[in-house]
Structure 1
Amino acid sequence: MTGDGNPFIDRRPTSHERLTGMPWDASYHDGPAPWDIGRAQPAIVRLASIGGFTGAVLDVGCGSGENALHLASLGLSVLGVDVAETALVLAREKADDRGLAVDFAVADAFELERVGRMFETVLDCGLFHTFDDDERRGYVASLASVTEHQGTLYVLCFSDDGPETGPHPVSRDELRAAFDSGTGWNIDTIEPDRILTRFHDDDDDGAPAWLATITRI
């Protein structure tokens, strides 16, 4: 049994869940989660506008689905996965309301091979930075298990560079250490960007972030 009450996957609570004392699903029980801004992240919209997503797309830690839904609206085949079942219920309701064909499924980010599919493009928007060093090793291997060779992984995570950093900020060196040739990856670029949250005003540009473009080798 998981901390989110799902009998089909058995997982240990993540470091973030142990720190907060709450399962991920609880973030969606009393209104939108802090990271659920009601639309796709601008960085993801921008990537999509220049053709950054191709083939079958996996959105890991998709939450209530805004990024996945945006990509599906462009005609892409998208699977969004999360351990928070409440978030997935919301995502499916949005897909129905918008007339979009998107698959959403419960899955453990550390055992993505159980999805049984491979993907040309994989998106991690705001998940990597929630894991500690020990968890990152397993997570990176899990991502590799579902990413086609020469496929692309995008990681948008809180950055340690700049004022008003978000929780769990990550350094460039931490990204490079996690995604190297020894783990089956090559980092193409790590660029400064922003992540919007519900803690920021509508006219705010959010918290500092890294947008990493990474190739599966």
Structure 2
Amino acid sequence: MSVPTPPAERPIAHVYDAAYTGVPNWDIGRPQRAFVQLLDAGLVRSPVLDVGCGTGELSLFLARHGHEVLGIDLSPMAIRQAKDKANWRRIAAHFLVWDALDISKLRAADLSFQTVVDSAMLHILGDRERDRFIDGLGDVLASGGLYCVLGDARRTEHEIYGITPEEIRDRFREVDGWKVVFFQQTIFERRWSSNTAYFVGVQRQ
């Protein structure tokens, strides 16, 4: 896999670097159960892009099951830990310091993906950041490819944090070349807690 030059780093990368000097609450040491079920259902196809991969547990899980996986995260600390895990476990996953808001630039390296997995990345983005990410997603997800996102359920209509069924349908419209193929309520597990969440699959037409 050729490695493109990463875009400029966003200042928030340092916030996540600080979190990864310890073990953040969202890093449970294994993939979220929704993605295990996705694999068991045979819905993961290679190559796979894991956006906001953190220390790589989901990427490593999918690679261990035979998939070609690229994990990206804007935190250099998280990517170093992911690469160390891959070396220790002898798993052939690839990791790159890269901002998910700039995934459209991966096309410069002729990279496209059949599956994009998102374990709690979309739900932290601001409104305009979500628009930018989805625009880029359309550039790198192949026709017929599947974007699968797990995110906390939004608690009130006035918050931006979290996701709702209505928002997903508004952002991924069929007229724009998207189709929501599954939508289920589930939980997002953390080390010391869990939240009601939604797990959504959106296909690129």
**Contact 1:157 1:209 (8 Å CA) reproduced:** yes
> 1:9 is matched with which residue?
7
1:32 aligns with 2:32: no
Q: Per the alignment, do residues 175 and 212 of structure 1 end up closer, same or farther by CA in structure 2, a change over 3 Å counting?
A: same
Count the aligned residue pairs: 195
User: 1:180 deviation in Å?
Assistant: 1.3
Cα distance, 1:178 vs structure 2: 1.5
Q: CA–CA distance in 1 between the matches of 2:79 and 2:141? A: 22
Q: Return the alpha-carbon distance in structure 1 between the equivalents of residues 93 and 120 of structure 2.
A: 20
Q: CA deviation at 1:32?
A: 1.0
Alpha-carbon distance between aligned partners in 2 of 1:74 and 1:172, rounded to the nearest angstrom: 30
1:124 corresponds to 2:122 = no
Amino acid at match of 2:63: A
1:148 alignment counterpart:
142
Taking structure 1 as the reference length, the TM-score comes to: 0.83
Q: TM-score, normalised by structure 2?
A: 0.88
Distance in 2, matches of 1:8 and 1:104, equals: 12
The alpha carbon displacement at 1:190 in A equals 1.3
Match of 2:203 in 1: 215
Identity over aligned pairs, percent = 33
- Quote the residue 2:57 is aligned against: 66
Shift of 1:209: 0.8
**CA distance in 1: counterparts of 2:105 and 2:170, whole angstroms:** 26
Residue 77, structure 1, aligned to residue 68, structure 2:
yes
Distance 1:28 1:125, change over 3 A: same
- 2:151 equivalent among 146, 157, 180: 157
User: Could you list the runs of 5+ residues in structure 1 that have no partner in the other structure?
Assistant: 1-6, 201-205
AA at the equivalent of 1:45: V
Measured on the aligned residues, the alpha-carbon RMSD in Å equals 2.1
Tell me the distance in 1 between the aligned counterparts of 2:78 and 2:89.
Answer: 17
